[in-house]
Amino acid sequence: MDSDGEEDAVVEIGNILEDVDDETLMVLGGIDDKSVCTFTRGYVKRQGLYTCRTCLDINEVKAGICYPCSLECHAGHDVVELYTKRNFRCDCGNAKFRGAHGCLLWEEKDDENILNHYGENFSNRYCSCLRPYPDPDNGNVEMIQCGICEDWYHLEHLNMDPEFKVPEDYDEMTCFMCIQKYTFLFVEAYNTVDAFRQNCQVVINNGHIDNAETNYVPGLKKFKKSESEETADSKDNANCRLLTWADTMDWLTPEFRYSSLEFLGTECKRIPSVFWNGGWRESLCRCEECKTLSLPGFS
């Protein structure tokens, strides 16, 4: 773009590992027939979505419509592009529209798509600053989309060093909020992306992370392991590069793969975003434990 949410949703780690071969098809929902609503395909893995100001007060009602419906059912309407969203089923003509507009492409729809996730983008609010796009006060300031939560962010709101320059060849950006939520992504980025590690040095050098063990929430403090447990861990570490890296990061809790960075307290908010190099999805650890990881609560 030159996109937080009301309820938790879940993105399986496998979805992160898969690249999209054709961005055009991704934005259009992978459709090959513009006369068919994507509702018929259920919760589409990833598709371009829109909302309609003509039919809805988008500040009060959050709803998403597919690309074919934006063309056929909402032709001539004030349609807002939301770009891509995951695991979403088209709302066009359902109870959210309260009879204002029926779907011309597929009339038989559920009143509500209970598995849909609606973030602030559906109300045309973006970034952590929740500004509209286009912004009547600041114009069309460039924003960058997070590949995990799929929200859009202004560069100055990504917790980056003031001197940071966006790499010309970066593959994907993960926002600081998602990095805070999923510690295993922090460990991956800290050990594979030089710019991310350098941005983190500001926090580390100030002692905020080195002293973070004192900020652990109850029940997450590190503990003395028995000799048998240490031996078992050594075997696990041989198969999991995340565990190998985590052993050098003493402030991490034993449950880091399933936790957020919230135990850092207010310093959690200082963690920067990450601009990944190409192929980062394929390089994620695929040991038996890591293959079971999921990303609950993306917004």
List, for residues 276-295, the tens digit of each pLDDT value.
Answer: 998 888 888 888 888 777 65
Locate the DSSP E strands across the chain: 10-12, 44-52, 79-88, 143-145, 152-154, 172-174, 274-276, 294-296
Q: What is the percent of the chain where pLDDT is above 70?
A: 71
pLDDT exceeds cutoff 80 at 29: no
Per residue in 176-213, pLDDT tens? 999 988 888 989 999 999 989 888 876 656 554 544 43
Q: Which of 145, 90, 155, 137 has its CA nearest to residue 116? A: 90
Distance CA 154, CA 207 (A): 28
How far is it between the farthest Cα atoms of the chain? 70
Per residue in 151-169, pLDDT tens? 999 999 999 988 889 999 9
pLDDT for position 263: 55
More confident residue, 101 or 113: 113
DSSP sequence for 114-133? TT---BGGGGT-BTTTTB-S
* Cis omega (within 30 of 0) for bond into 134: yes
